[in-house]
Structure 1
Amino acid sequence: MSLPAFESEAREWILTTAARLGFDRVDDPHDVAVFHDMDFDEEQRLLDQHRTWQRAKFEAGYAALDWPAEVGGRGLDSAFAETFVRLENELCPLRPHELFSVTMHLVAPTINLLGTAEQKVEFLPHMLRGELLACQLFSEPDAGSDLANVATRAVRDGDDWVVTGQKVWTSGAQFAGWGELIARTDPDQPKHAGLTAFLVPFDAPGVTVRPIRQMSGGTSFNEVFLDQVRIPDRLRLGEIGKGWNVALTTLAFEREGGSDSSSIGGQFSQLVSTAQDLDREHDPRIRELMARVYLRQKLARVDTLLDRQSRDGGAAPSAVGSIRKVQWVDKLTAVSEAARAILGRDLIADTGTPGTFSWNAHVLGAPGYSIAGGTDQIQRNIIAERVLGLPPEHRSDRGLTWREARAARTASPR
């Protein structure tokens, strides 16, 4: 099938199926939120609708267009998958939900790439049908931006692993059935070498989830506590001690997908509308700031096309994803700067004028993505070392085991 023919077919399917399922489009021109702010029941209803939509996509062959047929895909070129995503963002009436994005675009592709044959059969069909949702159990309170410094321990006990520790900033955990966990299995190896990845069922004894209230209002993030949680070895993802490679794979999928998240937060068109409503579109400074936003959106599209060429050539996710992530976060920041300049004091007080105070949801939410998936500083280090070939940053823990490095940090004066 040609790409234009596919686009016509997919457009008709999306419109017809959304109508058949009774999904009503709620167009709010003033919705510029980066993170959703819903109560538990409202969020559960949205996820149920996403499950229904995902199952319909799977049954119609649209759930994994560029995946191999043997794991539920159609084996098409990535251009077909990108076309469908663009149409879906344009025509599907459902608001996006991060847990679905994490499941379909991060965890499922990681299992598809690194999982055993049994794991692919056990997880992928259920994920592609929307029956199984999974989150990332990566970040920890004491590790900060240094993911390799995680302290959650997994100790072998026969055919099981016993896991104890805490994860934080876990998107969608309160609704997830599973988690992709990075844990330390050998503290006497250097920090990158002593990690192992697992797939953790959230109904296992010892798993506790606590939502975190964000300054933008919602509870997208969570703390997850693991207290002597037993995980069978068959749920280990990748080899023992190779968890860092698994984490890098998932993060590469996350970073390369950042620039495609065009529907998140305020957009150029909404900035223009707000400036026009307030009669500020002719201000030279505001025009300059809006031009910066427009440029960032165009650069993101160029990055997407370049990456597609690379992936079509068989390349695996790479450090180029860090470039795309930095570009996308810069665009979110540029939108915040333009919104502040356009609105002035209308941004901090709800005067009742539509499309003014609502920009708070973007301004307060945007900083979160400068941290999510690795901070901006981490991304720039990756770009410097792996793309530009610059010398690596100095590390005081180089050559030390994780246990030695932790003891040295504890003993050093603060």
Structure 2
Amino acid sequence: MTALEAYREEARRWLAANAPSDVSVREPHDVSIFHNLSHDAEKAVLDKLRDWQRAKFDAGYAAIAWPVELGGAGLTTEHADAFRAEEAARVDLTRHELFSVTLNLIAPTIRLFGSDALKDLLFPGMHSGEQLACQLFSEPGAGSDLAAVGTRGVREGDDWVLNGQKVWTSGAQFAQWGQAIVRTDPTAGKHAGLTTFLVPMDAPGVEVRQIKQMSGGTSFNEVFLTDVRIPDAYRMGEPGQGWTVTRTTLGFERANASNKAGVGGSFEQLLELAHRTGSLGHRDVRRRLAEVHLSERAAEVSLRREQRDRDSGLPPGASGSMRKLQWVARLGVVSELARDLLGTDLITDNGRPGTYGWTAHLLGAPGYRIAGGTDQIQRNIVAERHLGLPSDPKQVTASNGGHEEKKA
């Protein structure tokens, strides 16, 4: 038995003895893409995930491929992949974006750009689930054009004072920290005058207002920053380097956005629907099911490659944009096939499980054409960074003399 096989066997035994049986709050036929939970229900999900994250951390399974000095186990990405596979087979995890953002987006960005003092402050707390972080990026006047943010940061001695408004911030009501992109030099070019900070969400002047969705959920928030004073030690990167830092986080976001774990509308759920509707005898249905299955398997391989790069401390590339575009397309294929299989049962709440509930998938799938950067932005990234094509001429400005990248 190799060392990796022995590690996998050890992890398997630990999971058998410690894996919780009640982590998931999803019903078997829940195919929704976004949470539709009240504040208290969403907090209950986070509490369960925090307990599980802490258990993994205490056992050395929370940050397997991270360096020991940053709270990790100091092992290889192959060890991390082995544990993820065993965990996925034994734990029915409910996905929550705040955990994904903290562990897969902001933590690796801090690893690349954070000062030693900031790393000491936040690691290993992020790995243990004690410290969760949201993204303070989008604004009412700056959505995909993220470099156009208007939130201001003014330096006063060893502190910065922040004023502005952020919007569509997932999980802000539960987060301890927020990664904010702020304009600190209004005289500099559009991209050159930005700086990135970690903002304590309980700091004086931070106000979080929940946005109630038409579905009833309250995951999204507005965040108002009024004379919020933070020390310079909470800055990531140099002043004016905020666009580079933020682009790195967004690169991690593109890769993570196409991770289907915990998102409704899987191949298994679609196959079960085809069985239940007696449609498997149709050749076209089988072909479309096969397309979904193959697409999911290919995405898993690509995801593991990107996880290895992230665990190794490498910045993300353009592959995340390619995977996100493929995943958005797959969501559409799933929705269309479910619609064809169900017919009028899709729009009639007849009480039968696994029928009308598919409307949550159809209504949620288009949202991922925007989340993590629009499809148009992703195509520009692939064209320029992967194919080497010239920049979109509409995005070249005299002020910066180069590519005016939006939320990419």
Task: Map Cα deviations across residues 156-179 of structure 1 (whole Å, 9 max, x no partner).
Answer: 122221111111111111111110
Task: Indicate whether 1:223 and 2:249 are aligned.
Answer: no
CA–CA distance in structure 2, aligned partners of residues 160 and 177 of structure 1: 19
Q: Which letter does structure 1 place at the counterpart of 2:260?
A: S
Provide the residue aligned with 2:56 in structure 1: 57
Measure how far apart 1:26 and its partner are. 6.1
CA–CA distance in structure 2, aligned partners of residues 96 and 396 of structure 1: 36
Bigger CA drift: 316-325 or 129-138? 316-325
Measure how far apart 1:305 and its partner are. 4.8
Measure how far apart 1:301 and its partner are. 2.5
Q: Which letter does structure 1 place at the counterpart of 2:62?
A: A
Q: Which letter does structure 2 place at the counterpart of 1:304?
A: L
Provide the residue aligned with 1:269 in structure 2: 268
The 1:24/1:314 distance shift into structure 2, 3 A limit, reads: closer
Q: Which letter does structure 2 place at the counterpart of 1:8?
A: E
CA–CA distance in structure 2, aligned partners of residues 175 and 312 of structure 1: 26
CA–CA distance in structure 1, aligned partners of residues 15 and 361 of structure 2: 28
The 1:306/1:110 distance shift into structure 2, 3 A limit, reads: closer
Task: Map Cα deviations across residues 28-65 of structure 1 (whole Å, 9 max, x no partner).
Answer: 32021211222212221221122211111111000101
Task: Map Cα deviations across residues 50-88 of structure 1 (whole Å, 9 max, x no partner).
Answer: 221111111100010110111111222212222322332
Provide the residue aligned with 2:399 in structure 1: 400
Task: Map Cα deviations across residues 180-210 of structure 1 (whole Å, 9 max, x no partner).
Answer: 0001111222211111000101111221112
Task: Indicate whether 1:4 and 2:2 are aligned.
Answer: no
Task: Indicate whether 1:147 and 2:138 are aligned.
Answer: no
CA–CA distance in structure 2, aligned partners of residues 57 and 355 of structure 1: 33
Q: Secondary structure at the match of 1:165?
A: strand
Measure how far apart 1:312 and its partner are. 8.2
Task: Report the RMSD for the aligned CA atoms in angstroms.
Answer: 2.3
Task: Indicate whether 1:353 and 2:352 are aligned.
Answer: yes
Measure how far apart 1:387 and its partner are. 0.1
Bigger CA drift: 74-83 or 178-187? 74-83
Does the CA-based 8 Å contact 2:165-2:223 persist in structure 1?
yes
Give the 5 Å matches for 1:51-130: 51-130=50-129
Provide the residue aligned with 2:257 in structure 1: 258
Provide the residue aligned with 2:183 in structure 1: 184
The number of aligned residues is: 401
CA–CA distance in structure 2, aligned partners of residues 257 and 100 of structure 1: 11
Q: Which consecutive residues of structure 1, in runs of 5 or more, have no partner in the other structure? A: 406-414
CA–CA distance in structure 2, aligned partners of residues 206 and 305 of structure 1: 40
CA–CA distance in structure 2, aligned partners of residues 6 and 362 of structure 1: 38
Does the CA-based 8 Å contact 1:274-1:355 persist in structure 2?
yes
Q: Which letter does structure 2 place at the counterpart of 1:4?
A: E
Give the % identical residues: 55
CA–CA distance in structure 1, aligned partners of residues 373 and 32 of structure 2: 21
TM-score, length basis structure 2: 0.92
Measure how far apart 1:153 and its partner are. 1.0
Provide the residue aligned with 1:16 in structure 2: 17
Task: Map Cα deviations across residues 110-165 of structure 1 (whole Å, 9 max, x no partner).
Answer: 11121111111101111112111110111112112111111111111222211111
Q: Which letter does structure 2 place at the counterpart of 1:138?
A: F
Give the 5 Å matches for 1:15-34: 15-19=16-20, 23=22, 28-34=27-33
CA–CA distance in structure 2, aligned partners of residues 259 and 76 of structure 1: 26
Provide the residue aligned with 2:332 in structure 1: 333
Does the CA-based 8 Å contact 1:65-1:80 persist in structure 2?
yes
Q: Which letter does structure 2 place at the counterpart of 1:70?
A: E
Provide the residue aligned with 1:243 in structure 2: 242
The 1:56/1:396 distance shift into structure 2, 3 A limit, reads: closer
Q: Which letter does structure 2 place at the counterpart of 1:362?
A: H
Does the CA-based 8 Å contact 2:81-2:304 persist in structure 1?
no
Does the CA-based 8 Å contact 1:26-1:93 persist in structure 2?
no
Bigger CA drift: 192-201 or 86-95? 86-95
The 1:255/1:69 distance shift into structure 2, 3 A limit, reads: same
Q: Which letter does structure 2 place at the counterpart of 1:97?
A: H
Measure how far apart 1:309 and its partner are. 6.9
Give the 5 Å matches for 1:265-414: 265-307=264-306, 315-395=314-394, 398-400=397-399
The 1:24/1:239 distance shift into structure 2, 3 A limit, reads: closer
Does the CA-based 8 Å contact 1:15-1:92 persist in structure 2?
no
